[in-house]
Structure 1
């Protein structure tokens, strides 16, 4: 199970819009590694995740959700391997069965990769996630010091 703590940023009836807490790419190198350079270059647009709750939640509340690992593997295989297999398959058919020149083989490989990308995009939309609420954290009140305490 993959767990993530999210924060409620907006409410629409029983649907809460959740936003993940921003994490640094790595903590050990103080910004000198490649992953932090890329995160600074490309930025990170914050996206919200809508989720329907049975119990009432409020803006600012933190929620821990979990996702089954098997869904991640299925998504990764579909998104990465399907375009690759179709690209190689189209190139192989163009080279061995159609006996075309190298330029047409490259074009066939690009066509196969594009078709694989479109198929993966359609299939991923149809996948259903098994997301479970692990914990709804209570709202913590800020502590303030009162004179004389």
Structure 2
């Protein structure tokens, strides 16, 4: 199980929009590694996603959710391997069955990659996430110093 603590950023009834805190891949390189460079290039726009709870939550409240690891493997296979396998298959069929020139083989490989991408896109939409609520954290009040303490 992959666990993540998220913050409620908005609510509408029992539907809460959750936002995860972005975590740095590592702190050892002080921003000189590839993950830091890509984060700077592509921005750090924070994404939210809706989730329906059994009870109403408050803005700022923390929630810990868990996702089954097996779903991540299915998604990774669909997104990465299907277009690649379709591309290779189309190229091999083009050379083996039709005995076409190199230009047509490349075109067949690109066509296979696009078809594999479309199949992967439809498969990812059909995969259901098994998200479980692990803990709903109580709202904590900020500590303030009281005169005389």
So what's the TM-score if we normalise by structure 1? 0.97
Name segments (4+ residues, structure 1) moved above 3 Å: none
Secondary structure, in 3 states, of the residue corresponding to 2:18? Answer: strand
Cα deviation digits, residues 106-134 of structure 1 (max 9, x gap): 00000000000011101111111110000
Structure 1: gaps spanning 5 or more residues: none
Secondary structure, in 3 states, of the residue corresponding to 1:25? Answer: coil
Q: Does the alignment pair 1:65 with 2:65?
A: yes
CA contact (8 A) 1:66 1:134 kept: yes
Q: Does the alignment pair 1:40 with 2:46?
A: no
Could you tell me how far apart the structure 1 residues matched to 2:3 and 2:108 are? Answer: 41
Q: Does the alignment pair 1:28 with 2:24?
A: no
Shift of 1:33: 1.2
Structure 2: gaps spanning 5 or more residues: none
Aligned to 1:134: 134
Aligned to 2:51: 51
Shift of 1:31: 0.9
RMSD over aligned CA atoms reads 0.8
Shift of 1:44: 2.1
So what's the TM-score if we normalise by structure 2? 0.97
Could you tell me how far apart the structure 2 residues matched to 1:142 and 1:75 are? Answer: 40
Higher mean C-alpha displacement, 30-39 vs 69-78: 30-39
Shift of 1:26: 1.3
Counterparts of 1:83-98 in structure 2, within 5 Å, are 83-98=83-98
Aligned length: 149
